[in-house]
């Protein structure tokens, strides 16, 4: 399709998945990796289906093919020529999958079919692709205000999903999240974004009540941006500990019929509605 404006990313996975992971933003890899491609959709049905069923990879043009089709630095194709694609695994999404696998082992439910997308949805605090946050503070502030405050992309999809547990990666998101939902947290245990991660992880028992529903909020260092802190503080283990507490308390339950977690108690018509149909809901049996 050539160069186009990229569409905002939707919440990936099931809208009623009981666990949600939130990163900062989808990286604009094409800024430094010209082989990387991004989806462009013919209609809203394709758009919705892509994000409902996307997993841990994105696509890029096979490097040999790309290099062999460069003409004066421009990628040139013949009309109708097919382009071979490689799967590029997204490290952040792989981290989400690793957390789910560790959690599954911790609660010893080996016969369950827990999976990223179906049981853990994942989203980005800022939904537009960007090449990084190496920008002046005014520009950064403007992007966050437009995306989070004015358009409310994250807030709308978070409140539509109402997960039982949400994992927030990074201080930038933590600050805005706490500022927005401060009044919804247990007044005896309000998270402090200015605290260090050692204390935050040690006191990771934060609970909020939103629209009458209880949500466990788990804060973690960003495993990519500050990987040294993430690994030195064993952040994955602390996340798993918190999720295990929710499971043992009965807030996360395996449905023996579907072998997935039971869905959240929200009205959802994402897969089948008056505008588009991307498939029957596989979790109606959980009702």
* Residue corresponding to tokens 């800024």: 31
Whole-model pTM: value is 0.89
Query: 6 pLDDT exceeds 90?
Result: no
Predicted confidence at residue 88, as pLDDT, reads: 82
Rounded CA-CA distance 197/171 in Å is 9
At 131 the pLDDT is 55
List, in order of start, the domains of the chain with CATH numbers: 19-30+90-261 (3.40.470)
Q: Does 129 have pLDDT greater than 70?
A: no
Answer yes or no: are the C-beta atoms of 100 and 115 closer than 8 Å.
yes
Asked if 75 and 43 touch (Cβ cutoff 8 Å), the reply is no
Two tokens, residue 228: 């040294």
Q: What is the mean pLDDT of residues 1-16?
A: 81
* 162-170: average pLDDT: 96
**For residue 134, pLDDT beyond 90:** no
Of the ranges 148-162, 224-238, 263-277, which one carries the lowest mean pLDDT score?
148-162
Using a 10 angstrom Cβ sphere, with 0-12 exposed, 13-18 middle and 19 or more buried, the burial of residue 265 is exposed
Mean pLDDT value of segment 268-286: 86
Range in 22-31, 47-56, 117-126 the model is least confident about: 22-31
């Amino acid at each position: 399709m050539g160069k186009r404006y990229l569409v905002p990313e939707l919440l990936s996975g099931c809208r009623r998945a009981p666990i949600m992971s939130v990163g900062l933003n989808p990286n604009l890899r094409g800024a430094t990796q010209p082989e990387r491609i991004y989806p462009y959709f013919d209609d809203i049905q394709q758009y919705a289906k892509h994000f409902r069923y996307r997993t841990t990879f994105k696509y890029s043009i096979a490097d040999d093919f790309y290099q062999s089709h460069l003409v004066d630095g421009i990628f040139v194709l013949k009309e109708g020529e097919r382009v071979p694609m490689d799967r590029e695994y997204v490290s952040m999404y792989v981290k989400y999958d690793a957390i789910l696998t560790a959690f599954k082992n911790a609660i010893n439910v080996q016969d369950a079919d827990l999976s990223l997308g179906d049981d853990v949805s994942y989203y980005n605090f800022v939904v537009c692709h960007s090449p990084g946050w190496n920008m002046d503070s005014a520009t950064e502030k403007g992007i966050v205000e437009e995306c989070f405050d004015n358009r409310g992309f994250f807030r709308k999809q978070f409140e539509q999903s109402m997960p039982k547990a949400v994992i927030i990666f990074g201080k930038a998101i933590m600050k805005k999240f706490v500022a927005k939902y401060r009044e919804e947290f247990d007044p005896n245990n309000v998270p402090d974004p200015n605290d260090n991660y050692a204390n935050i992880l040690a006191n990771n028992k934060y609970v909020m009540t939103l629209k009458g529903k209880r949500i466990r909020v788990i804060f973690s260092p960003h495993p990519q941006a500050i990987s040294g802190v993430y690994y030195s503080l064993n952040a994955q283990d602390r996340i798993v500990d918190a999720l295990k507490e929710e499971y043992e308390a009965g807030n996360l339950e395996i449905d023996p019929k579907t072998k997935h977690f039971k869905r959240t108690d929200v009205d959802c018509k994402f897969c089948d509605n008056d505008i588009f149909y991307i498939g029957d809901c596989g979790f109606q049996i959980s009702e």
